[in-house]
């Protein structure tokens, strides 16, 4: 079987480097895959690729430049992994170029419109090319849906789904990630609550959230694809909510203040502060720890007609939390490299991976999970 040439776009970024390292470090995958670490800076790309071994090389590539499909064909790329966010303001040029070049495509997008509109926008092209395109292969909705599927297996109804991520203050932060979350800070977001769609403002009004192995935090609403996908996919009767809970309360209040400034019309483009916050965010690291995590809470009626409330928790120590958003893309890339079938056409990552497929990745980084009956 010919090795799968895999191009990681944003390959030396916060998530791209982790994905490349994971794929190069797995002996079974490394034998079946050639890695291209791609970014605008050829020197940085090549420096990282050298650490991956002889089956990797760095290449200079601007994904916004014309002729991307021709370049992918020239390099005989069989899979594009797109990690160069933020995706909130991107179109589908990279995906369409991959389809034109006859390559599979996976991205780590968390932009609500980008992910939710993706199957309709590029589905015909990938179906015609007989290739697979998967968007949102990250914590949401790939891992979040795997958890809900596991917790609610066989249930008659699902009433509510509440998710909260809790990053460690000292974990590496990417400029693109900050730009993404700031883009909807203070914006009215449509949320399924009390059985109907209602507007709620992003990052405003933090509320208490409990974790199994982390101290309680206050979490605020984030705009992610799950808010739109899950109410229909799971027929959730009452509520689907997603929060982010920063470890240092001062940082959480700062985001709430930015949300208020935007609501009052005093800060129309908070995402322009991403560079400043990225450079100065480390001043609060002394108040935090290397421990982060996530919780998924569900409520509904089980197979026997009994009311149930369950929660799945994960705790990631030693600043390993940023590995979690990379796991779904790594798992899917391994499937393609080993010839395991994935659905042709364009799809969100919702319910594509079972929760047990993540278990070896959690164990590799010493992450601990709990399922709690509440």
Same domain for 183 and 117: no
Same domain for 189 and 128: no
Number of domains in the chain: 2
Same domain for 170 and 248: yes
Judge whether 183 lies within some domain.
yes
Question: Which residues constitute the domain of residue 167?
Answer: 140-321+363-373
99-103, 109-113, 247-251, 368-372: range with lowest mean pLDDT: 247-251
Supply the CATH number for residue 235's domain: 3.30.360.10
Q: What are the residue ranges of helices labelled H in the chain?
A: 16-25, 27-30, 42-52, 68-74, 93-100, 112-129, 144-151, 175-183, 226-233, 249-263, 274-280, 324-337, 359-364
Same domain for 45 and 57: yes
Same domain for 328 and 316: no
Is the pLDDT assigned to residue 278 strictly greater than 70? no
Mean pLDDT of 353-374: 97
The whole-number pLDDT of residue 349 equals 98
| Percent over 90 (pLDDT), the chain | 77
pTM confidence score: 0.94
Q: What is the pLDDT of residues 70-83, one digit of tens each?
A: 999 999 999 999 99
What 3-state DSSP class applies to 160?
strand
Supply the CATH number for residue 51's domain: 3.40.50.720
Query: Other C-beta atoms within 10 Å of 126: how many?
Result: 25
Judge whether 124 lies within some domain.
yes
Name which residue leads in pLDDT, 279 or 97: 97
Q: What is the pLDDT of residues 307-323, one digit of tens each?
A: 999 999 999 999 999 99
Same domain for 247 and 157: yes
Judge whether 358 lies within some domain.
no
Q: What is the pLDDT of residues 122-157, one digit of tens each?
A: 999 999 999 999 999 999 999 999 999 999 999 999
Judge whether 306 lies within some domain.
yes
Same domain for 218 and 279: yes
Confidence label for 268 from pLDDT (cuts 50, 70 and 90) = confident
DSSP assigned state of 311 = E
């Amino acid at each position: 079987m010919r090795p799968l040439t895999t191009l990681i776009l944003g390959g030396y970024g916060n998530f791209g480097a982790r994905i490349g390292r994971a794929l190069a470090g797995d002996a079974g995958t490394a034998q079946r895959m050639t890695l291209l670490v791609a970014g605008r800076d050829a020197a940085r790309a090549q420096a990282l690729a050298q650490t991956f071994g002889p089956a990797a090389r760095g290449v200079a590539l601007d994904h916004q430049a014309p002729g991307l499909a021709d370049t992918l064909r020239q390099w005989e790329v069989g899979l594009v992994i797109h990690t160069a966010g933020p995706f909130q303001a991107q179109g589908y040029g990279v995906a369409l170029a991959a389809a034109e070049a006859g390559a599979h495509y996976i991205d780590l997008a968390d932009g609500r419109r980008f992910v939710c509109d993706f199957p309709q926008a590029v589905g015909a092209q990938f179906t015609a090319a007989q290739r697979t395109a998967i968007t949102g292969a990250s914590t949401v909705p790939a891992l979040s849906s795997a958890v809900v599927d596991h917790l609610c297996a066989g249930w008659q109804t699902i009433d509510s789904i509440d998710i909260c991520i809790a990053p460690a203050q000292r974990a590496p932060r990417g400029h693109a990630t900050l730009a993404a979350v700031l883009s909807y800070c203070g914006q009215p977001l449509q949320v399924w609550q009390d059985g109907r769609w209602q507007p709620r403002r992003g990052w405003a009004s933090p509320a208490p959230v409990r974790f199994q192995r982390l101290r309680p935090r206050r979490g605020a609403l984030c705009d992610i694809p799950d808010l739109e996908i899950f109410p229909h996919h799971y027929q959730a009767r009452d509520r689907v909510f997603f929060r982010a809970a920063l470890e240092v309360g001062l940082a959480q209040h700062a985001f709430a203040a930015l949300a208020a400034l935007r609501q009052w019309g005093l800060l129309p483009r908070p995402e322009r502060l991403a560079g400043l916050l990225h450079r100065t965010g480390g001043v609060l690291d002394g108040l935090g720890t290397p421990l982060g995590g996530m919780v998924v809470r569900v409520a509904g009626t089980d197979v026997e007609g009994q009311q149930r409330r369950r929660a799945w928790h994960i705790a990631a120590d030693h600043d390993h939390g940023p590995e979690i958003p990379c796991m779904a893309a790594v798992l899917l890339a391994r499937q393609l490299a080993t010839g395991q079938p994935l659905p042709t056409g364009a799809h969100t990552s919702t319910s594509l991976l079972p929760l047990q497929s993540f278990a070896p990745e959690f164990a590799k980084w010493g992450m601990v999970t709990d399922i709690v009956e509440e």
